[in-house]
């Protein structure tokens, strides 16, 4: 199927819309994973301080992570998710509007 310039432009814009929507959904997912890691890290730190025993979280590949490491990991995930969300929203906005004129 041959595409003329107008169809190519529409197809590229459609693919970019899908890409930026996927980035936004991934940022929401990353935010909640980071929130979970912060919560779990705080709980482990609380248990470590209360019972004076070092508790660790066991990851899927057998790695042991302390409560402080989980807290820092979750904080970094939330920061990355925030900037990914801002990037996707601004990208969708700039993709839709160009110099005050609506493209689509």
**Mean pLDDT of successive 10-residue stretches along the chain, which has 104 residues:** 69 85 94 94 86 79 85 94 92 72 58
Q: Do the Cβ atoms of 88 and 95 come closer than 8 Å?
A: no
Phi, psi (deg, nearest 5) at residue 97:
-115, 130
Predicted local confidence at residue 38, as pLDDT = 94
The reported pTM is 0.77
Helix (H) or strand (E) holding 63: none
- In the chain, at which residue ranges do the beta strands (DSSP E only) sit? 56-58, 64-66, 97-98, 101-102
């Amino acid at each position: 199927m041959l595409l003329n310039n107008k169809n190519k432009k529409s197809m590229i814009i459609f693919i970019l819309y899908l890409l930026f929507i996927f980035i936004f959904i991934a940022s929401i997912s990353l935010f909640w994973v980071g929130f979970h890691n912060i919560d779990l890290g705080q709980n482990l730190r609380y248990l470590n301080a209360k019972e004076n025993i070092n508790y660790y979280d066991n990851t899927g590949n057998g790695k042991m992570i302390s409560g402080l490491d989980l807290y820092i990991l979750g904080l970094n995930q939330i920061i990355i998710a925030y900037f990914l969300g801002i990037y996707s929203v601004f990208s969708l906005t700039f993709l839709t509007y160009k110099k005050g004129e609506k493209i689509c």
